[in-house]
Amino acid sequence: MPWLPSLKTETPEEGYALAIKLSRMVVKMTQPDEAARERMRPEYANDAANLTQVSLVVATNFLDCGAG
């Protein structure tokens, strides 16, 4: 089964979970080296501006999935 069988979800909560998955997958596809992602994580995990950007990306994916 593909990792993204559909953009349709039954509930808003499922839609939001899908938006998070889409956001995470784009990071994984952009930087496929897991070790590199792990090295960079502390940089953004403790930065309020970076965490706000993450929220914006998730919100954008949520709206683009037709959930909003």
Nearest CA to 58 out of 18, 3, 12, 7 is that of: 18
Residue 5 counted as domain residue: no
Question: Is pLDDT above 80 for 67?
Answer: no
3-state secondary structure at position 68: coil
Domain of residue 51 covers 12-64
Number of residues that this document lists for the chain:
68
Residue 40 counted as domain residue: yes
Q: Is the separation of the CB atoms in 59 and 19 below 8 Å?
A: yes
Residue 6 counted as domain residue: no
3-57 confidence digits (pLDDT tens): 788 888 899 899 889 888 888 898 899 999 999 999 999 988 899 998 889 889 8
Number of domains in the chain: 1
Residue 44 counted as domain residue: yes
In terms of pTM, does the model score above 0.85? no
Residue 7 counted as domain residue: no
Q: Is the separation of the CB atoms in 64 and 15 below 8 Å?
A: no
Say what the pLDDT of residue 3 is. Answer: 79
Q: Is the separation of the CB atoms in 9 and 15 below 8 Å?
A: yes
Residue 4 counted as domain residue: no
